Amino acid sequence: MLLAKTGVPAASDLAKVIPSEERLKKGAVAIIECFQSIPCNPCQFACPRGAIKEFADINDIPKIDFDLCDGCGTCISKCPGLAIFVVDATYGAEEALVKIPYEFLPLPAKGDRVAGLNREGKEVCEAEVVRVQSAKGLDKTPIIWLSVPKDYMMEVRHIRLKGGAVS
């Protein structure tokens, strides 16, 4: 498995977790990029709508019912692996909304233009920060809402602030 050599999920891994075009057209939805059986289950208790299916075993890989998920993003900061993202393909005509967990300081501010990084840490586009959630309940895992060109909504998973700050 390529992922186990590089840490970067392959297209074949992602194909298993990315919702259908049809579902994406209906609005925001969570994507769980967790591909390895590990003993971890907080996500199944995180969803207020019960969209993350109950595990039979703590080592199960999480599964989302995309019909129940409304992309609220409550699960993002509960995942110890920071592997959950939300994508809203209906956000704008040209732009999609991507919500990512971001545990670095300084935090970006609303309106900042930042570098959108892919899963290898390479800059693929510019993104605009739409909102920064950093309430106490998120327990130091702030959530950054990014407006990105639609072509990159399945690519951008991290950001780099402009002006020299580290990743």
Partner 1 sequence: MKSLRKTELAVIGGGPAGLSSAITAMRQGAEVTLIDRDPVLGGQLIKQTHMFFGSKDQFASIRGIDIPSELIKALEEGPGKVKVELGTTVIGYYDDGVILMEKDNRATTLLPQRIIVATGAAEKMLPFPGNDLPGVYGAGAVQTLMNVYGIKPGKRVLMVGAGNIGLIVSYQLLQAGVEVVAIIEAAPHIGGYLVHASKVRRAGVPIYTSCSIKEAFGRESVEGAVICRLDENWQPLPGTEKTLELDVICLAVGLSPLTELLWQAGCKHKYVPELGGYVPVRNEKMQTSIPYIYVAGDAAGVEEASSAMIEGKLAGLFAAASLGYDHDLESLAATYRKELEELRSGEAGSKIRQGLAKLIGGVSVAS
Residues within the interface to partner 1 (CB under 8 A): 3-9, 33-42, 45-46, 57-59, 78-83, 103-105, 117-122, 139-141, 157-158, 160, 166-167
The smaller minimum CB distance to partner 1, of residues 5 and 135, is found at: 5
Work out how close the CB of 24 gets to partner 1 at its nearest, in angstroms, rounded to a whole number: 21
The smaller minimum CB distance to partner 1, of residues 25 and 122, is found at: 122
The smaller minimum CB distance to partner 1, of residues 105 and 135, is found at: 105
29-32 and 123-133: which strand pairing? unpaired
* 11-46 residues labelled b (16+ CB within 10 A) or e (exposed): eebeeebbbeeeebebebbbbbbbbeeeebbebbeb
Q: How far apart are CA 120 and CA 70, in angstroms?
A: 28
Q: Are 104 and 39 in contact (CB under 8 A)?
A: no
Work out how close the CB of 41 gets to partner 1 at its nearest, in angstroms, rounded to a whole number: 5
Work out how close the CB of 118 gets to partner 1 at its nearest, in angstroms, rounded to a whole number: 7
Q: Cα 44 from chain centroid?
A: 16
The smaller minimum CB distance to partner 1, of residues 9 and 19, is found at: 9
Work out how close the CB of 155 gets to partner 1 at its nearest, in angstroms, rounded to a whole number: 10
Q: What angle do CA 56, 62, 64 make, to 5 degrees?
A: 110
